[in-house]
Amino acid sequence: MIIKKHKSQWTALALFVGLAILLFFASRDFLAMRKDPPIYPGPGVTRVVKLSTYYPTIAGTDDDSEVYFLEGDERGGTALLVGGTHPDESAGTLAAVIVIENAVVKRGRVIVIPRADHSAFTHTQPLEAYPQTYSIKTPRGERVFRCGSRHANPVDQWPDPLVYVNPFGQTLAGEEARNLNRCYPGRKNGYLTERLAYAIVNLIKKEKVDIAIDLHESSPEYPVTDTIVAHDRALEIATEAAMNLEFEGMEISVEPSPKNLHGFSHREWGDSTQALALLLEVANPAQGRLRGRTDSSLITSGKDPYYVRAAKEGLLYVPFTSEGHPLKERVGRHLEAFSMLLKVFTEHNPVKGVTVTNLPGLNEAMENGLGLYLAPPSS
C-alpha cells in the first residue's frame, strides 16, 4: 500500500510539473501576441500620434494605437486610410503599412491607421485554427506580421452581451459588440470597441477628413468582393474610379452602402461626418468557409484546391484558378484602388486635392512582390 501511495504521489507531481511547463510556454505565446511587430515610418511620415488623442478614455487600453500623418508641402485636402479593422484580413493592414513606409505626399495630407482594432491583433479567431503570424521576405531579411481576429480580444472586453444592440437599435449576435465595423459611430460611454469607433469618428471630424477609405478582405463566395462599397455621397467618385480601373485591366465593381444597414464604416462615416466614405473588399480564401488547411501559406499564397473546385462548380463571385489570390495581388489591388480614388477625388475637388507618390500599384506588386516595398527588419 505504501509503494502504491508513493507511486501515485510521483505521478501527481509529474503531471503537475508537466502542466506547469505547458502553461509556461502557452503563456509566453499568449503574451507575445501583445507585442506589436514594428512599423518603420518612411520619408513621407511627418508625425505620429496616438488614437487616444481623439478620445482619451481609450488611453492605456489595448485598443489605443498609432496614427501616422503624411503631409505635403502644398495645401490640399485630407484623406484617411484605415487598415486592421479586422486584423485577420491581412491585405488591409499590409497595404496601410506599405503606404506608411513608402508614400510621399506632395499635396494635402494622408492619415493612416494601420491597426485600427489593436486589441483584435492580440489573439486569433476562436475555433478557426488561424496561425498567429505570417511573414514576408525582404531583400535584407524577413518581416513578421500578426494575424489577428475579426473581433477584439475578450480579455479586453468581457463579457459579451447575449444580444448586441448597436447605436441605432439594430440587434446582432453578442460577440459583434467586439466587431469595430459594427459599432460605428460609437458611443462615448459604451463598450471599449464602441469607444474606439467614437475615437475614429472624432478623428475624422477634428482633422476635417475629406475622403475616408476602409480596407477589408472577404471570402471568394461572398457577393460583395473585389468591390468598392460607397456611401451615397461617394458613389460618383467610386463609379468613375472603378471605370478607370477596369479600363486599366483591374476588374472591380461598385456597391452602394445600404441605407438601412447601420454600424458600418461606409455608412456611418458618411452619415456622421463630412467625409466621403468608402470600403474596399478583395477576395481572400483564408476568409471563406470552403477553405482547406488554414495556415500562413494560405494567407500569403492565396492558393486553395477546394476553391479551385468551387470555381468550377460556379459557386464563387470571383475567378479562382490554381494560381489563387496571393497576398501581393490583394495588397496591390488595395493600393491601386486607393491611388485611383485619390486621383478621381482630386479631379472632382481641385481645391482639396490629395497627391501621393512613390506607391506601387497592382502590376508592380505582382511583378516585384511585396518585400521590395517593406523596410528590412530593424531598419
DSSP string, 59-90: TTSTT--EEEEEE-SEEEEEEEEE--SSTTSH
Who contacts 149 (Cβ-Cβ below 8 Å, separation ≥6)? 86, 87, 88, 120, 121, 123, 124, 125, 126, 130
Per-residue pLDDT at 27 exceeds 60: no
Say how far apart CA 300 and CA 330 lie, in whole Å.
Answer: 10
Per-residue pLDDT at 231 exceeds 70: yes
pLDDT confidence band for 22 (50 / 70 / 90): low
- Average the pLDDT over each of 26-40, 43-57, 248-262 and give the range with the smallest value: 26-40
Mind listing the pLDDT tens digit for each residue in 249-303?
A: 999 999 999 999 999 999 999 999 999 999 999 999 999 999 999 999 999 999 9
The answer to whether 253 touches 228, Cβ cutoff 8 Å, is yes
The answer to whether 260 touches 96, Cβ cutoff 8 Å, is no
Say how far apart CA 18 and CA 3 lie, in whole Å.
Answer: 22
Say how far apart CA 106 and CA 75 lie, in whole Å.
Answer: 9
3-class SS of residue 212: strand
- pLDDT at position 127 is 83
Say how far apart CA 120 and CA 33 lie, in whole Å.
Answer: 10
Mind listing the pLDDT tens digit for each residue in 95-145?
A: 999 999 999 999 999 999 999 999 999 999 888 888 999 999 999 999 999
Cell numbers found for residue 156? 479586453
pLDDT confidence band for 34 (50 / 70 / 90): confident
pTM of the model: 0.93
For cell 481576429, the residue is 149
Q: How many CB atoms lie within 10 A of CB 217?
A: 27
| Residue in 288, 85, 101 with CA at minimum distance from that of residue 180 | 85
> Mean pLDDT over residues 161-170, rounded?
94
> Mean pLDDT over residues 319-325, rounded?
97
- pLDDT at position 126 is 85
> Mean pLDDT over residues 74-89, rounded?
98
Say how far apart CA 186 and CA 193 lie, in whole Å.
Answer: 8
- pLDDT at position 186 is 98
The answer to whether 165 touches 171, Cβ cutoff 8 Å, is yes
User: Tell me, what amino acid is at 219?
Assistant: S
3-class SS of residue 246: helix
Query: Which residues share a beta bridge with 144?
Result: 135
3-class SS of residue 26: helix
- pLDDT at position 189 is 96
> Mean pLDDT over residues 2-24, rounded?
62
> Mean pLDDT over residues 58-72, rounded?
97
The answer to whether 348 touches 113, Cβ cutoff 8 Å, is no
Radius of gyration of the chain (CA): 22
